[in-house]
Amino acid sequence: MNTYKVYLAPMDGVTDPPFRKILCRHGGYDISFTEFLRVTDVPILEKAILRDVPELRFGGKTEDGTPIRVQLLGDHPGAMAATAVAAVKLGAQSIDINFGCPSRFVHHSGSMLLAEPELLHTIVSTVRDHLPAEIPLSVKIRSGFADKKEAPDIVKAIAIPGVSEIIMHCRTRKELYKRDCIDWTVLEPFSAEYPDINFVANGEINSLSDAVACEAQSHCTTFMTGRGAIAIANLGYVIKEKGLPYDTVKTLNVLLEIMNEFVEMDAEPRIVLNRAKQFLGYARKANHELAEFFCVFCRSEDLNNSFKLTEKFLTRIGK
């Protein structure tokens, strides 16, 4: 067993409460991040926070005991701070600020703000000043807005006393999610320069070998994984305990859990199927045995039929 820690990344439209519940049940993650809560110029109401983060009703943890970190996205320092305080009042154990989302639909927030280090500093400082001292605050960024040479100024702007972790997606906003643009070496100098802050590597951490390579290049031993965590449902355990990735049978049983979870929530059949296909779309990239089943499953437009297809395939391969 190594000393690695692995966090489940926030993924807008993916890691909602039911997905977090299932992925944390299997993944072995040290912390799970919420999808970002979009803060405008007014704080988010408590009932809206609880709607998006129902785990706050249960001590700020998932069913299996994984701590939840509430992530906020916005450009208004006061409203961000007030929302963070409200989340803590409701039971949040820690807060994260999102300066990493590259979506063009996020207006003047997320990684758009990386071009404005002074505003980054103001937001982080304001949130930190309003939070209780014992509540950890982390900040998620990218390695730059347009160029990784911007990283030192970005980190300097947010590395204030009271920030416990900086999570860097090691691509610039301009590079989006291009695999060949990943550069873990950008993180390498910061741990020595800011010894009181834990630096977390994010981006293309999809296997144990990726984590080992990332550590060698970045000196990080804490990693955040997003798409890889869906492709391999037990990825946290794979990285931390050198376990084997889930095989086809175990992956399809996770699929059934996801479908049943949404059914129990009274989700529309269309939504259940869309989320199941979303999961399979990632899983087939890590397990080529799922390619044939994925094609068959995606043609199904009937929920009951999709359950039957899954059970039939499991029986065929030796459930």
| Kind and range of the H or E run holding 121 | helix 117-130
- C-alpha 115/C-alpha 125 separation (Å) is 17
Asked if 29 contacts 67 with a C-beta cutoff of 8 angstroms, the reply is no
73, 125, 147 from 121: Cα distances, Å: 14, 6, 19
Can you tell me the distance from the alpha carbon of 49 to that of 228, in angstroms, rounded to the nearest whole number?
27
**Of 116, 200, 123, residue with least CA distance to 154:** 116
Give the active site residue among 101, 170, 214, 220: 101
CA distance 105 to 57: 30
* Active site annotation includes 24: no
C-alpha angle with apex 255: 273 to 221, nearest 5 degrees? 120
Give, in order, the Cα–Cα distances in Å from 158 to each of 152, 166, 181, 240, 249: 10, 8, 24, 29, 44
DSSP 61: B
> Would you please indicate which residues are annotated as catalytic (active-site) residues?
101
